[in-house]
Chains A and B, each alone.
Chain A
Amino acid sequence: MAETATHTADHASEHGHETSTGLSNNKLAMWLFLGSECLLFGGLISTYMLYRGRVSDGPHPMAIFDIPFTSVSSFVLLMSSLTMVLAVTAAQRGDDSRTNLWLTITAVLGATFVGGQVYEFTAFIREGLGFSTSLFGSSFYTLTGFHGIHVSVGVLMLLSTVGIIRKNKITGNKAEVVEIVGLYWHFVDVVWIIIFTLVYLIPS
């Protein structure tokens, strides 16, 4: 007990000391953050659902969505969750080179998705759906843009993790750091499943 007690706990986890619940502080904090993010996307999705039929003079959602294209980019994003899982198991085995490999592949898949989104946005703008065109336009770009920013931040986190592991400057438990980045990544994926279904698949 004395050993546990004399360390502040975010230091404690790195030495394998116990917390009151046994969960590490960092992981608990990430779960709470993701809980909060649910409400953030909840608000954005509600706004979109309220406004998706209000197109003013602009194009109608079903007229401009390219469902096969977005399905492919969604598939790419979902596969990145698989590679993320492989990265986490590699990290838990202590296999640094495999961890870095899978993290890099995950980042590349994520970047591909973001690239697809940029392409999609430019195509929509060319077809007449500007940010200010209609309520549908504003809420569509805001919702999917917010998700895109989340994916981009995730890509940055993945690449940073790779860099820090390679330089051996990671502070704390390496496998756990990878796992926490993974929690964020899976969350972003799950949110996309919801957005893809509500925005693209269900006709308005």
Chain B
Amino acid sequence: MAIIERPGTGTTPVVATPQQTLGAVKRPVETKGWREWLFTVDHKKIGIMYGVVAMVFFIIGGVEALLIRLQLAMPDGQILSADKYNQMFTMHATTMVFLFAMPMAGAFANYFLPLQIGARDVAFPRINALSLWLLIIGGLVLNASWFLGGAADGGWFMYAPNSGPIFSPSHGVDFWVIGLQIAGVASLLGSINLIVTVVNMRAPGMSLMKMPVFTWMILVVQFLLVFSLPVITVALVLLMLQRSYGATFFDVSQGADPLLWQHLFWIFGHPEVYVLILPAFGIISEVLPTFARKPLFGYPFVVFSGASIGLVGFGVWAHHMFASGLGPVSVAVFSVATMAIAIPTGVKIFNWLLTMWGGKIWYTTAMNFAIGLVVLFTIGGLSGVTHSVAPSDTQQTDTYYIVAHFHYVLFGGMVFGLFSGFYYWWPKVFGKMLNEKLGAWNFWFMVIGMNLTFGPMHILGLQGQPRRMYVWTEARAGEGFFNLGFWNLIASIGSFILAVGVLFFLINVVITARSKKQAPLDPWDARTLEWLTTSPPKAHNFDRIPVVHHLDEFFHRKYEEDTATHTMKKVAEGEDLVRVEEEAADAHIHLPSPSYWPIVLSVGVGLLGLGTIYGIPMIVLGFAITLFASYGWILEPSVAEEIDFEPSNNDGNTKEIAPLG
């Protein structure tokens, strides 16, 4: 961090740390220990921290899910009270959506997006750090409610007026509102940052249609976030004003319209669904061509279908509200729009199938998860189309059929995509390969567990078991094949098999971390620019910024077409290419300097939010810290001045160290 590399004597650059700064507080210069992580603005370190945080919340959300399944495994479950059960499913969903899925996609986006477009960092490195710390604060606020009078209990979409002060008297909903508001600000800042990065910081020659599909999908997602997050912000503000300051927005006795919340929530909530799934689509669009050893079939179709999913995704929100009596015209319009969005999604499925068709498929764990996504997402997608038919949806609303559907698309789709990404990119990030044998156990336990858990829920739902019911009784469970007790038990057993699958992954991570074996530079014969550097990448990513001529630039630098046979022949190894880059390294590289302000600012915002629960003094304190940190931020240049680095200007603190990487 905070380094300039200069050609010193021979090939050893002098690395100087800045000694002075503008602003109130001296700039952090640590390059070791915990401070290096706390104050970092490096997109790669931030990406790893996103991943760790998301994984922790994945485990928390998973334990919540297991408690739910334990409660429902047997008739008249005794594990949870009705109240605790409500809190459990609310927090399970909220945690998985906002604290696992979005941050984990953020981890991949942060780490790989700059690498894939040949940039040295994101456009606003300090804002990037701020997003991370705000997310962490938001997650802590949300989960603090468990210890401060009970968590939110209104379901993840928190319908009004049920979420109002009369029906939800505990502070749970207040913590939920504030936690999500803060996490929302984090996402908004992150999305603006990533859009600017993609739009403005691509390597020379990388036109939009030469960008990797992962980068494309992340770009689409960020546009969805920029335009959908403000809508839930409004909803949350209205609810907060009602609960803490006596506003009447959802007070039906005053003539309020309960549908207001539903509209605001789902105008955000449906684009959110695509926010969750598109990053996974992006990941497998990288993984499938690599392991099928063929270029992605119909690249422009994959890109444009992704973009049109994003666009149409803004026009289908009311299909979550078919049962609320919207009137026949609205229902018809949203019904047709929902059917229409299946088309671009289907286009993608066929593109992936045709990418694999005729390829020399290499069944690694990453590939298995990617194929798993294609199959399981298709099942979830098809049950999704049944919801678009409004009369049928009216039967399915609020039953386990819905639960089955969205777990197939979110677990079978999104989670499988993310796991595919773990196995594919692990050697890039950590320089070591995850164990493939444990990977196979990981994969098969997850596939079997997931189908046993969520498959039976289709039957449960069509038989009429409502979601969010905290007990069921033997007397009303039915007979024979459709006995609810049997299928509930199977689902609960499945959930533990699933958990064992995830455990295999965690064991794999520990074993890999302990092993000494280094991964080869290009273990998968990959195709995109992130592989054109060392593993793990150097702090400055690329020794020189690559000039891009092709889609799949890295592949085209390794392979040339044999004109006689029209086949691609390997002419260079990844190692050779990286060596070429190292020899032609730029002499003069500025990296953004670490900063105290992102973490200070996020603490200020956290206190400001909690002040709506704990009163004016905390708001004042939070506001003061926020303001102080903002001025510190403004007065600190994002990159230390040239003079700060001059070795002649400092008093012997400069060390000569070996070149990075």
**Within the complex, which residue of B204, B254, B589 is in contact with A135, where a contact is CB–CB below 8 Å?**
B254
Give the interface centre of A6, A28, A38, A169 by most chain B CB atoms within 10 Å: A6
- A164 proximity list for chain B (CB < 8 A): 634-635
Given contacts A8-B639, A9-B201, contact A134 B254 (CB under 8 A): yes
B214-257 vs A, CB cutoff 8 Å, 1 = contact: the mask equals 00000000000011111101110110011001111101001111
Is B237 touching A142 in the complex (CB atoms < 8 A)? yes
Please provide the chain B residues from 237 to 281 with a CB less than 8 Å away from any CB of chain A in the complex. 237-238, 241-242, 245-249, 251, 254-257, 260, 264
Is B248 touching A134 in the complex (CB atoms < 8 A)? yes
- Asked if B195 lies at the interface with its beta carbon under 8 angstroms from chain A, I say yes
Is B635 touching A169 in the complex (CB atoms < 8 A)? yes
Given contacts A8-B591, A29-B192, A171-B638, contact A138 B226 (CB under 8 A): no
Give the interface centre of B202, B228, B634 by most chain A CB atoms within 10 Å: B634
Is B230 touching A54 in the complex (CB atoms < 8 A)? no
A69-112 vs B, CB cutoff 8 Å, 1 = contact: the mask equals 00000000000000000000000000000000000000000000
Is A138 touching B248 in the complex (CB atoms < 8 A)? yes
- Asked if B132 lies at the interface with its beta carbon under 8 angstroms from chain A, I say no
- Asked if B320 lies at the interface with its beta carbon under 8 angstroms from chain A, I say no
Q: Across the two chains, which residue of chain A brings its CB closest to B627?
A: A156
- A38 proximity list for chain B (CB < 8 A): 230
- A19 proximity list for chain B (CB < 8 A): 200-201
Q: Across the two chains, which residue of chain B brings its CB closest to A145?
A: B241
Q: Which of the 9-residue segments B117-125, B371-379, B413-421, B438-446 touches chain A? A: B117-125
- A138 proximity list for chain B (CB < 8 A): 241-242, 247-249
Size category, B interface: 35 or more
Please provide the chain B residues from 266 to 316 with a CB less than 8 Å away from any CB of chain A in the complex. none
- B251 proximity list for chain A (CB < 8 A): 135
Q: A132 to B248, alpha carbons, bound, how many Å?
A: 6
- B247 proximity list for chain A (CB < 8 A): 131-132, 138, 142
Q: A8 to B231, alpha carbons, bound, how many Å?
A: 32
Q: A142 to B228, alpha carbons, bound, how many Å?
A: 20
Is A40 touching B234 in the complex (CB atoms < 8 A)? yes
Interface of A is mostly: helix
Is B230 touching A36 in the complex (CB atoms < 8 A)? yes
In the assembled complex, the CB of B538 is this many whole angstroms from the nearest CB of chain A, namely: 13
- B22 proximity list for chain A (CB < 8 A): 169, 171
Q: A139 to B226, alpha carbons, bound, how many Å?
A: 24
- Asked if A202 lies at the interface with its beta carbon under 8 angstroms from chain B, I say no
In the assembled complex, the CB of A184 is this many whole angstroms from the nearest CB of chain B, namely: 14
Q: Across the two chains, which residue of chain A brings its CB closest to B207?
A: A20
**Within the complex, which residue of A33, A40, A131 is in contact with B245, where a contact is CB–CB below 8 Å?**
A131
A171-199 vs B, CB cutoff 8 Å, 1 = contact: the mask equals 10000000000000000000000000000
Q: A37 to B185, alpha carbons, bound, how many Å?
A: 12
Is B631 touching A160 in the complex (CB atoms < 8 A)? yes
Q: A20 to B588, alpha carbons, bound, how many Å?
A: 21
- Asked if B545 lies at the interface with its beta carbon under 8 angstroms from chain A, I say yes
In the assembled complex, the CB of A188 is this many whole angstroms from the nearest CB of chain B, namely: 15
- Asked if A66 lies at the interface with its beta carbon under 8 angstroms from chain B, I say no
Q: A54 to B260, alpha carbons, bound, how many Å?
A: 14
In the assembled complex, the CB of B256 is this many whole angstroms from the nearest CB of chain A, namely: 6
- A63 proximity list for chain B (CB < 8 A): none
In the assembled complex, the CB of A165 is this many whole angstroms from the nearest CB of chain B, namely: 12
- Asked if B592 lies at the interface with its beta carbon under 8 angstroms from chain A, I say yes
Q: Across the two chains, which residue of chain A brings its CB closest to B198?
A: A20
Q: A142 to B592, alpha carbons, bound, how many Å?
A: 40
Q: Across the two chains, which residue of chain A brings its CB closest to B635?
A: A169
Given contacts A39-B230, A43-B231, contact A131 B202 (CB under 8 A): no
Q: Across the two chains, which residue of chain A brings its CB closest to B259?
A: A50
In the assembled complex, the CB of B638 is this many whole angstroms from the nearest CB of chain A, namely: 6
Task: List 14 A–B pairs whose Cβ atoms lie within 8 Å, in order of A's numbering.
Answer: A1-B545, A5-B544, A6-B120, A8-B590, A10-B123, A11-B592, A11-B638, A11-B639, A20-B201, A20-B206, A47-B249, A50-B260, A142-B247, A164-B635
Given A8-B119, A19-B201, A50-B260; 12 other pairs, CB 8 A cutoff: A2-B545, A6-B588, A6-B589, A8-B638, A11-B638, A29-B196, A43-B230, A131-B246, A132-B246, A135-B249, A138-B248, A160-B634
